[in-house]
């Protein structure tokens, strides 16, 4: 199955184009929205072509999540650690946004490969910010410890007014997703998809994958969660993360996959609907073609009917004529009808006899 990319492709293309034309004084002002209601704004002025202002708006957090200064906890430290001196956090951010970053393109590294990797990391600002709390929890898991400042049940935002939950422990981290869908068809497909998702985990080739469970009711780990956060029409999905799943480079992939799990499911549901609609249209088209072939052609049927009727009438007329001729020559041998010269004479003679 297709996994979503961690970086914003449009943001990366914009940054690469800006770096290649940094000496050109071109004004830039772009706005766009990506999945889960994450909005971006990029601005470049003609006075400072080396400066790029990047603003990011995050999904509206539900009441059970913890936001510090409009950002998830640990986001500021994650930004500084990821971008270094290239990026500066502006306080306060631009109106209507949770975060505004000032990018100084003149401080980018000279090495082209390292420069491209850093631009990709900047384009992945969504992962850095929204995944910061999850990254903090999973880093403690690598050392098999639990921060004393953390609650036993953490709620992290991943969609507008929706959250998923973490239950951190020293040897594992349990992640629970309440799955909600607005469309009834999406709900049915998601329920079937998630059940198959759990069954696929039991195959022999996925023994090292995180444990996965699905239940229609909230699991016991969410006992202390507010009732409003436990309304899910497609059930609850639970993943159990062990230290082996966050070792080395696996940490970034695990953070991104968990942060976008709901978007991953929604994407494949929409793809499944499109595939089924395509199959249905093809099936209907094939049935229509079969029905069209079964219909007789009116012109051909009329011609065939006319020709067959004409032959039948000709045969009947010829047979009647032959029978009458044979009858005429047969009775001429009789003296009673001697002197008859034609069939007309025979008919006249018969009529006179009747009279």
Domain 134-295 has CATH 3.30.565.10: no
What string of pLDDT tens digits covers the 355 residues of the chain?
567 788 889 999 999 998 888 877 788 899 999 988 899 999 998 888 889 999 999 999 998 888 888 899 889 999 999 998 899 999 899 999 999 999 998 888 888 889 999 999 999 999 999 999 999 999 999 888 888 778 888 999 988 999 999 999 989 999 999 999 988 889 999 999 898 888 887 776 777 888 899 999 999 889 888 888 888 999 999 999 999 999 888 898 999 999 999 988 998 899 888 999 999 999 999 999 888 888 777 766 666 555 554 444 444 445 555 554 554 445 444 444 445 455 556 556 655 654 4
Encode pLDDT of 303-343 as tens digits: 655 555 444 444 444 555 555 455 444 544 444 444 545 55
Question: According to the model, what pLDDT value does residue 203 have?
Answer: 79
Rounded-to-5 percentages of helix, strand, coil across the chain = 50, 20, 30
- In angstroms, the Cα distances linking 269 to 159, 181, 188, 279, 346 are 17, 11, 10, 15, 92
Which CATH number fits the domain 1-130, given the four candidates 3.40.50.2300, 3.40.640.10, 3.30.1460.20, 3.90.1720.10?
Answer: 3.30.1460.20
Distances (CA, A) of 78 to 144, 178, 257, 344: 21, 27, 18, 121
Backbone angles phi, psi at 302, to 5 degrees: -65, -40
Q: Find the distance separating the first CA and the last CA of the chain, reported in whole Å.
A: 102
* CA–CA distance, 103 with 148 (Å, rounded to integer): 35
Q: Which of 219, 253, 223 is nearest to 239 (CA)?
A: 219
Nearest in space to 190 (alpha carbons), one of 240, 260, 237: 237
Q: What residues does 131 pair with on adjacent strands? A: none
Tokens standing for 41? 């704004």
């Amino acid at each position: 199955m297709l996994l979503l990319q961690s970086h914003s492709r449009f943001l990366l293309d914009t940054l690469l184009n800006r770096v290649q034309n940094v000496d050109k004084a071109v004004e830039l002002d772009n706005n766009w929205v990506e999945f889960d209601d994450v909005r971006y704004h990029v601005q470049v002025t003609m006075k400072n072509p080396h400066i790029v202002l990047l603003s990011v708006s995050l999904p509206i957090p539900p009441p059970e999540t913890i936001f510090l200064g409009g950002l998830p906890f640990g986001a500021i430290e994650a930004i500084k650690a990821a971008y270094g001196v290239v990026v500066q956090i502006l306080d306060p951010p631009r109106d209507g946004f949770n975060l505004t970053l000032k990018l100084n393109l003149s401080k980018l590294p000279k090495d082209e490969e390292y420069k491209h990797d850093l631009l990709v990391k900047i384009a992945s600002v969504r992962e850095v910010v929204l995944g910061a709390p999850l990254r903090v929890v999973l880093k403690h898991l690598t050392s098999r410890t639990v921060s004393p400042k953390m609650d036993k049940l953490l709620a992290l935002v991943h969609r507008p007014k929706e959250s998923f939950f973490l239950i951190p422990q020293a040897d594992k981290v349990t992640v629970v997703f309440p799955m909600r869908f607005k469309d009834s068809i999406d709900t049915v497909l998601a329920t079937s998809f998630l059940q198959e998702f759990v069954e696929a985990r039991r195959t022999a080739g996925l023994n090292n994958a995180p444990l996965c469970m699905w239940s229609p009711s909230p699991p016991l780990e969410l006992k202390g969660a507010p009732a409003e956060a436990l309304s899910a029409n497609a059930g609850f999905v639970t993943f159990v993360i062990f230290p082996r799943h966050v070792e080395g480079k696996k940490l970034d992939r695990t953070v991104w996959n968990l942060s976008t799990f709901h978007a991953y499911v929604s994407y494949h549901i929409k793809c499944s609907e499109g595939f089924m609609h395509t199959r249905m249209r093809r099936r209907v088209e094939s049935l229509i073609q079969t029905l069209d072939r079964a219909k007789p052609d009116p012109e051909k049927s009329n011609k065939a009917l006319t020709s067959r009727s004409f032959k039948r009438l000709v045969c009947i007329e010829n047979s009647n004529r032959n029978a009458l001729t044979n009858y005429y020559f047969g009775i001429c041998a009789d003296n009673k009808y001697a002197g008859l010269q034609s069939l007309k004479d025979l008919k006249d003679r018969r009529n006179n006899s009747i009279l």
